Structure 1
Amino acid sequence: MQRMGSILGIKPEAIAEYKRLHAAVWPEVLDKIADCNIKNYSIFLREPENLLFAYFEYHGTDFAADSAKMAADPKTQEWWAINMPLQVPLATVKEGDWWATTEEVFHVD
């Protein structure tokens, strides 16, 4: 199992809509997350900085392949098309990335 964290900005005027959408994530999107070996997925909001922090646990063996499978899913693409305009990538994100990855520096069970 691999723990993963990412950060992304959100437009202040989009916070209420983002919360509304995530209060009722489409079942097909939740199924695809599980199908791609992702468990214990949470997104946290930090205001007033308007940052989203995502945490999940990856239980597969090929994260790149599972990420590609998720990205190829039409329902997930539709979900992202609705949510991405609400978000703001960090200025330092790598080209081609949306969420900025983070380094785990501490963990205790």
Structure 2
Amino acid sequence: MSAMAKAQRSGSVIGLRESAIEEYERHHREVWPEVLAAISAAGIRNYSIYRYGTLLFSYWEYEGDDYEGDLAAIDQVPACVRWNDLMATLQVPVDGARPRAWLPVPEVFHLD
């Protein structure tokens, strides 16, 4: 990405089983190093997950030239596959989302 290009921002939501809140937050205090490395290698920066009750909201910025390809590369990392399988036991889809998938949400305001 050129120095003048802006990062692509992404926000999405997914549900969380009420009984899994403590476990989910514990896992995210101890994210596996291979998962963090794969996310960074894919050009994901400034990644955050917020929780409101049983709703999770994620935000990240992408810096790269092949968004779909870079995200698909994460799914080829064995530790990420195991991590996503584990998270799928704790999460529940929101209305309109595919099973095991975060639902992208539109940006309605941004200020640099």
Cα distance in 1, alignment partners of residues 90 and 60 from structure 2: 21
- Alignment match, 1:26: 32
1:87 and 2:82 aligned: no
1:6 and 2:4 aligned: no
Residue 91 of structure 1, CA deviation: 2.3
Contiguous gaps of at least 5 residues in structure 2: 1-6
Q: State, as a whole percentage, how many aligned pairs show the same letter.
A: 42
Spell out, residue by residue over 1:9-39, the C-alpha distance to the aligned partner (whole angstroms, 9 max, x if none).
Answer: 0000000000000001011100000000000
Secondary structure of 1:40's match?
Answer: strand
1:102 and 2:97 aligned: no
Cα distance in 2, alignment partners of residues 96 and 11 from structure 1: 14
Counterpart among 57, 60, 71 of residue 61 in structure 2: 57
- Alignment match, 1:68: 72
- 1:45/1:27 Cα in 2 relative to 1: closer, same or farther (>3 Å)? same
Kindly report structure 1 stretches of 4+ aligned residues shifted beyond 3 Å. none
Kindly report the root-mean-square deviation, in angstroms, between the aligned alpha carbons of the 2 structures.
Answer: 1.2
Counterpart among 36, 39, 43 of residue 37 in structure 1: 43
Cα distance in 2, alignment partners of residues 38 and 104 from structure 1: 18
- 1:97/1:103 Cα in 2 relative to 1: closer, same or farther (>3 Å)? farther
Please report the TM-score for the alignment, with normalisation by the length of structure 1: 0.93
Please report the TM-score for the alignment, with normalisation by the length of structure 2: 0.90
Contiguous gaps of at least 5 residues in structure 1: none
Spell out, residue by residue over 1:50-84, the C-alpha distance to the aligned partner (whole angstroms, 9 max, x if none).
Answer: 10000000001111101110011111001111111
Tell me the matched-pair count.
Answer: 106
